[in-house]
Structure formats: structure tokens, C-alpha cells
Chains A and B, each alone.
Chain A
Amino acid sequence: MDDIDSFEKRRARNLVWSTAGTQDFEPPLLVYDGECKADLYWNSVIGAIYRHFDWTALQAFYCSFEEDRWRGVKENLFWLALEQAAYAIEVKDRPAYALLRKEYVQKALADMNLEKAALNHDDSMSYRLLLGHVQRINAELGGASNKFGNKPGQHLGERELGLLDAVEHSTNLDTAQIIQTLQTAFDKYLENRTILGFSLKHLGLWGPVWETVTEDIQHFRLPFLKRRRAAIRAMAFGVAEHSFEHTGNGHENNGLFPQNSREQENFWKYINNYFGKPLYQEQDIRQLERRLCTGNDTACRLYYTRGDYAEKLETGPFVATHNRSAEKALPVNRAAYEAHSVQYNHIINNMVSRFRNSLLVHLEQQEVRSRSGQLNVNRIWRGLLLEEKHLFNRVLPGDPGNITVDLLLDGSSSQSSRQQTIAAQAYILAESLTRCRIPVRITSFCSMSGHTIMTIYRDYDEPENNERVFRYFTAGGNRDGLGVKMLTDMMRTNPAEHRLMITLSDCEPYDMIAIMDAPNHQVPYEGEDAINATASEVRRAIAEGISVMCIFTGEERALPAARRIYDRHFVRIRNLGFMAEAVSNLLQSVIRSYDPGNA
């Protein structure tokens, strides 16, 4: 169940959204098949349920099963009833639904077996009910007889038949009526059972206790062994992920965020002194968070700064621990650069000429012979004597359009040993591009106490500010996916024809805030999951027309991750001396892709 990859999760969400007709909600349930692939039929049914019924009321009813000893059976029946009801409405608008349901039923009948149905526990009861349900649908659709016999529900007892009837009666009912029908059936068949001819009600207050004890003995399960069910759990009809059972937005529970307004105030002072004054007002930040802190980054918060400090720093407990870090990093980074300035200047010159060549070679103006254009007097005789038509020269211009480059530096503490090198690399790149009159913006990101902090060192229209990148310093973790997402968002307002994002990263994303897709399983933001999350954001940026490439600054072990995130669009630079060649080759490949001749 933990193997559901982000691709299938997005597929499942999109299936729900498509049938629901809106994307303005988090799907309450996502369903996957036994191979953890998004279930085509069930997810679209969930969308139809959301579209046609009052989900708020349904959710309240569903949550009332919590801690109920029949929770599994009730949950399964709940979804079967709603599937029945939603199908009846949706099939009128979607002819494909009849076929999808038929395929679903046939597959279910082929996959199910009597041995599992014969077992004696809650899950088997749900299984038997589902079997009865799909058998009845199969009979309705005139399906062929199957290994379970011709008579639907012959494996069911009286109680189970009663429950199944309640499910099948949910057609043409509204939300309140469905809830009422199910509640009545639950009361009749699941709560009010008799022992030795007496109704449990006759035992008064002891009834529920007796029921619990006997059921637990029957199922070899004692109360202290009961556990809270996971948000992703096996249901009779598939693996279901209950998004509404995830622990809120995570802000309040994980202990990483300031817990009260005083702590929050101190934290803001701390971050203000550490990284620089905030670029946006709090309400603007909240708006950005609502837009960007979604999906894998649901629990995160954002902070944007230009890296400038207030003249007078904030005061308070702990707030002075790391104050003015950028100002402290500036002389260190600059001195390291100055120590190799001859070599670095050579690299810049080399890079400038390579960039210019890239632009010229691939986009140079071509002069061709033509039937029109500028008359080539040397060829007039050919027209007169040879009736040749191509007597003109015509210039086919190569226009690169406007290209902008965004540099995104990984500012996490995993880069601390390379701080001066990265600052130098970023400066060399920015300076080379600036000399080619390509607008550059330099940013860095890191994560701290649940906040992803974006520092903007230099904007497109500030060619004189390349040296501000020497204020770069490292701290905290690196939520690469969110960093890419934040920069992509900033690049949306950039009207340039060709937008290029270059990340300088070790491709080892790590953050304290877990991916909130499945908090009950608490998927940490590290390893495969973090790499997938980052790759997903890079893919989104590319889908928006942004070219993304990476200058890989990490270790050998992270190379597969770099490949996964950036495909072939990354270079590893072991030595700064090779940087000009490597980066210009990458840039050339990007520029070449803009060349209409290659289109």
C-alpha cells in the first residue's frame, strides 16, 4: 500500500475531479487496484458521488463509524450504496459508464474466490457483500454465469442479504435518504443481534459490553489489540486512500511549527534576522501558501526575502543566534572568489564567447539566393541569358527572441562545504549571461522549521547586482520540489519567449516536513519520495514552457536522482575549469531547440 507512486495518485485525483466537474476540492477517497494503479471506474464514481450528493453530510455519517467494531463492513457498504446511487445518475450522462461497470464487475468476478468469502471475519463479510453486489449487477447486465453459480448472493446469509438489499435500494434516493436507509439497515442487522434468543437490548447497560466481548472472542481480538485504521487501507473493492482522515494540514501537530502567537512572533524575528526582511506582507504570503503549499507540500509555509536586513535588528529570545548571516557570508565568498579571480575571469571570458557563439551559430542570419530580395547585380546576366530566376539575395534572420535565465541555488546546509564554490559558480554564470545581455535572476532556497525560504539576490533588470550572490549562505534542509515550484510561480509573470531555469543542486532533497499525501504513513520528504516530488515539479515547469536544467554539485551516489529529476538536462562539474564547456553545451542544446530550423 505504500507503493502507490505519485503518478498514480495524480491519475486517481484527476479521474475524481473530471467526473466531479471541478478541481476545487481534495478528493475524499482515492481508489487503487491490487497493483496500486488508479482504479478507473471507482475513482470516477467517487467524482460522481461528490457531484451528485452532499459530501459534507456523507462525511459526517462516514466518520460516525470511527471506533465502531463494524467499521469495516459499514464503510464498505457505505461506498457500495453510493456507487449504486451515483451510477444510476451518472450513466444517463456517460454512456461509457455502462461498459466500465460491466468491465469492473467481470474483472471482480474473475478475481474473487469462494475460499476468501468463506472466512469468518469482518473483512470476509465485506468481501461476501461485494461479491453479492457484483453478482447482482452481472445478472442485471445479462452477464454470463460464473464460477459462483447462476443465483446471485447464494453464499450470503439472511443478515448479509438484508444489508445488500439496503445497498441496492439506494438508487434514486437523495443524500439524507441514503443515510437513513443505511442507518436503518445497520441498526437492524449489525447492532441488534441476539444471544441465546435475547436481544442485546434486553441486557440493558451490559448489552454493548457483552457484545464487544463476545465479538472480540469470536474474532480472537481483544480491545487492547485494536488499532486506529490507516488512511490508506484495503477495502473489499480496492485499496482506498481516505484523504479526509489525514491529519489536517499538519501545521498543528508535527511540533515543527511555532505553537502559539508568541512563538510565531519570535520565529519571524529570528528568520528576519537570519535571512533578511520579508519581501511580502503576511496576507500576501498566506495567499501564496494557499496557491503553492498544496499536494506534496501541503504542510509547508513560505518566506521570501531579498536578503537585506533592517538597520536595527529584531530583539528577543534566541533571535540573535544567526543574525546577518548573509552579510557575514559576503566577505568570505568574495575573498574565495578573489583568490582565484584570474582563473574565474578566464572562465567568464570563455563562457561569454561560447554563449555568444551558441546564439550566433544557431541563430545567425543566413543569406540565401532567392527569387526576390536584394538584387545581386553579378547574377543579372544569368537571368537574361539562362532565364534563371534566383537573382536576388535574401537574408533569413535568426532571432533568438528574448531569453531569460533563472538561477536557483540549493541553499541547504548539505552544501555548506561547497558554499564558496557555489557562490563562485553562480557569479560566473550570472556575469557571463549578463555580458551576453541575457537577463538573469539569481535565487536560493532552503527549509527551516517548516518554512521554505526563497532569497532573491538579483532580479532580471539588475545587471549591476551580480555580486549580491556572494551573500549566499547555507542553512537548514532543501525541499527541492517546493523550491522549483516557488520559482516556477515567479516565472509565470515573465513574458520572455524562452525561459530557462538552471538549478545548482546536489539532488538530495530532504526536509523535516513529511509529504502530507499520507501522513498516517508519514512519508518523509527524503529519498525516493522527495526525488519523485521534485521530478514532478520539474515536469510541471517544463509543461509550462520553461526549460529546466541542472548543474549537479553533489556526490556520485545522487547521480541516478539527478537523472530522474532532470532527465538528460544536467551536467556534473568536477572542476570549475570545465564549467564553461559543460554549461555552454547545455545552453546550446536549449538554444538549438529554439532554432526554427530545428523545429
Chain B
Amino acid sequence: MVCSTDMLDFLREEGVSEKIVSEIEYFRRHYAVSDSEKSRICEPQFQYYGKDIWEQAAAAILAGENILLDGPKATGKNVLAQGLSAAFGRPSWDVSFYINIDAETLIGADTFEDGAVKLRKGPIFRVAEEGGFGILDEINMAKNESLAVLHEILDFRRQIDVPGYGRIALHEATRFIGTMNYGYAGTREVNEALASRFMVVRMPVISISNLEKLIKTQFPNVKPEYIKQFALLFDEIRQKSESGEISTKALDLRGLLASIRLMERGLKVGKALELGMVNKCFDSYERQLVLDLMAVRIPGNLSAEDICHG
């Protein structure tokens, strides 16, 4: 876990422009966070590596814009969104746009408390009230009813109409960070009206060196030569997935990191990778291709002693 003050040091290490970092510091000083919401400030488990993307996203947020992170699977969209929340020191609310999310879920609905009907505030309401960061995951899965809410909150007027409770203005620090995987099976076309309400950041595929950096940070005990092999294996799975030979099921960065965690706990490398990545392919052909990639990259019978420093 990285606390939000460390985030600025991290950004400096990444080479993010000092001007942007100092403006983030000013933003944090200027917009206080209520004590009750401090626990909502993200403490990201992973860091997003990529100076350019950090600069683009941070600059857009500083300029008062909402951002849409567009990229394929395992490009770190959610990691960056959480990182931004931590760097700017804002409480965040995650909304995953699965098919049943409706306006009431987003804004709020009536509930009964202490013998009276009250508004139970939804995540968007809370973001607006507290000046938080709303992380709108898979925004291109949103159905029309939710899209209407999004259009309203992302509009330049920066206010929400809550039926029966009036209109509330968005806190000045409120920002929304959408994520989407354009072209992912089962998603909708993002219409112009929605796209125009965001600054769109195209998320690049994580480079091998950044992936190595990520693994090294998470697992400082793993020997550099094996960190490199894990990163290369992941990249090869990505290439297979991009070429359509396999689906994206095995392209699971969290799965890779979880596998390395299992290795540290004593599981053999091959078995750990099977649990974290290979077994996510239910098709026997895909499974075999991923196993082949592993076999020519990392000896499966290695143990924690082989891959970690003593």
C-alpha cells in the first residue's frame, strides 16, 4: 500500500514535471477532506508506471476536466484511477457499470430510517457532495438510463437534479474518471455526447520495463532475471491475445502478481502460474498455448528458493 503523501515522491521519481507535482500539492492543500471521508482516499496496492500518462491525466484534472481512460485489458486503467485519487488526496467512489446499474443506484433512492423516509445517497451524490473522485468503471457498459445521469453530472453546469430533493451543485474538487475497453465484446458504442464530456487518455500497453518495475516493487525478493522472465511471459501472452490466437482470459496482470505471491508462499512456479493465469482459460487449446509459452520461458519446477534471494 502507498499512502497519498508518498504518491508525490513516486511521481517525482517517475519524472513527472515538477510544475504538475507542485500544482497537485496546491490542490491538496486548497481542498480539505472531511475527517469522515479520509478513509476513502485510495491507498493503491499497485503503482502505475508511465510519466507521460501521469502528466496527461494530472494536467487534465488540474484543469478541471473529467478524464476517460481508454485501453485494452491489463493496461492499468483502474490502477491509474486509484493512483490519481491518492495523488490528489481525494476520497473516491467506484461505480462499476454492469447492466443493472440505474439512475437510483447512482444518485440515490428513498429509504426508511428512524420512522421517516430519507434519501439514501448514491455514490455519485456522495462524490458531488464531498468533492471526491468518481471512478466510473467500464463506462461503455452503461445502459441508457445511467447514461442520462452521466450526461448531467459531467455537463459544464456541474450540478445534479435529485427528484424530490432539489438540485445540488458539484463540489469544486469533484472529478470523474471513466475507464473503458473500446471494442471489448459486449460493450456499447460511446456516443459523441458522452465522449465530449471527457478528456480521453489512450492507455498504452504496459512496457516490459515498467512491468518489471511493478513486479520488483511488489516482490523485492525476486531475482531480477526471473522478474524479467515474468514480464516477458506476460508480454508474450499479450501478443498471442492481440493476434487472436487466444482470448484475453490469461492476460491477467493481477493473476500474475497473485501467482508470484503464491510462489513466495512456497508453491512451485508452474503450479502458481497455472492457478493465477493458465486455469483462467477454459478452452483446452488456449490452455495448451499458454502452457507452451510458460514452458519455453520459465522452468515450471522452480521453487521460491530458486527465484528469490535468500
Q: Which residues of A contact B (CB under 8 A)?
A: 7, 10-11, 14-15, 18-19, 23, 38, 40-41, 44, 93-97, 99-100, 371-375, 380, 383-384, 389, 391-392, 394, 396-397, 399, 401-402, 495, 497-499, 539-540, 543-545, 596
B108-122 with Cβ < 8 A to chain A: 108-112, 115, 117, 120
Q: CA A44 – CA B297 in complex, angstroms?
A: 10
CB distance from A460 to the nearest CB of B (A): 14
Residue of B239, B285, B296 touching A44 (CB-CB under 8 A): B296
Q: Which residues of chain B come closer than 8 Å to A97, judged between CB atoms?
A: 296
**A107 CB to closest chain B CB, in angstroms?**
14
Return the 6 tightest CB-CB contacts between A and B, nearest first. A545-B185, A372-B109, A372-B111, A44-B296, A99-B299, A497-B186
**Are A401 and B99 also in contact (CB < 8 A) when A18-B240, A495-B188 are?**
yes
Contacts of A15 in B (CB 8 A): 292, 296
Rounded to whole angstroms, the CA-CA distance of A7 and B143 in the bound complex is: 40
Q: How far is the CA of A513 from the CA of B292 in the complex (A)?
A: 32
Query: Contact residues of B with A, CB < 8 Å?
Result: 98-100, 102, 104, 108-112, 115, 117, 120, 143, 145, 183, 185-189, 225-226, 229, 232, 236, 239-240, 243-247, 283, 285-286, 288-289, 292-293, 295-299
Pair B292/A11 contact, Cβ less than 8 Å? yes
Choice from A402, A497, A543, A596 contacting B247 with Cβ under 8 Å: A543
Whether B292 and A7, one on each chain, are in contact in the complex, defined by CB atoms closer than 8 angstroms, is no
Point out the residue from A100, A375, A384, A540 that lies within 8 Å of B115, measured CB to CB.
A384
Complex contact B285–A95 (CB within 8 A): no
Q: Which of B112, B232, B283, B299 contacts A392 (CB 8 A)?
A: B112
Of all chain A residues, which has the CB nearest B144? A399
Q: Across the interface, name the chain A residue whose C-beta is closest to B113.
A: A389
Q: Is the CB of A96 within 8 A of B112?
A: no
18 contacts between A and B (CB under 8 A): A19-B296, A96-B299, A97-B296, A372-B104, A375-B110, A375-B112, A389-B112, A392-B110, A397-B99, A399-B99, A401-B143, A401-B186, A495-B189, A497-B186, A539-B285, A540-B244, A543-B283, A545-B186
B236–A18 CB distance below 8 A: yes
Contact yes or no, B246 A23, CB < 8 A:
no
A65 to chain B, nearest CB (A): 28
Known: A11-B288, A40-B295, A384-B115. 10 other contacts (CB 8 A): A10-B245, A18-B239, A18-B240, A19-B296, A95-B229, A371-B120, A372-B110, A391-B112, A394-B104, A497-B187
**In the complex, what residue of chain A is closest to B226 when comparing beta carbons?**
A95
Residues of B within 8 A of A384 (CB): 115
Alpha-carbon distance A371/B186, docked complex (angstroms) = 31
Query: Could you tell me the distance between the alpha carbons of A540 and B245 in the complex, rounded to whole angstroms?
Result: 8
Closest CB of chain A to B108's CB: distance in Å?
Answer: 8
CB < 8 Å neighbour of B239 from A7, A23, A389, A498? A23
Q: Which residue of A lies closest to B285 (CB)?
A: A7
* C-alpha spacing A15/B298, complex, angstroms: 14
> Do the beta carbons of A94 and B110 come within 8 Å of each other?
no
- Chain A residues near B102: list those with CB within 8 A: 397
Residues of the B chain whose Cβ atoms lie less than 8 Å from the Cβ of A399: 99-100, 143
Partner of B244, one of A19, A383, A543: A543
| Closest partner residue, chain A, to B187 (CB atom) | A497
Enumerate chain A residues within 8 angstroms of B143, measured Cβ to Cβ: 397, 399, 401
- Chain B residue numbers with a CB within 8 Å of A14 are 240, 245, 289, 292-293
Q: How far is the CB of A9 from chain B (nearest CB, A)?
A: 12
The residue in chain A whose Cβ has the minimal distance to the Cβ of B140 is A495
B187: which A residues are within 8 A, CB to CB? 495, 497
Q: Flag if A392 contacts B229 (CB, 8 Å).
A: no
Task: Write out the residue numbers on chain B whose beta carbons fall within 8 Å of the beta carbon of A402.
Answer: 188
- Cβ B109 vs Cβ A373 within 8 A: yes
Residues in A neighbouring B186, C-beta threshold 8 A: 401, 497-498, 545
A372 and B100 form a contact (CB under 8 A):
no
Q: Does A373 lie within 8 Å of B297, measured CB to CB?
A: no
Looking at B99, B145, B286, B293, the one whose CB has the most chain A CB atoms below 10 A away is B99
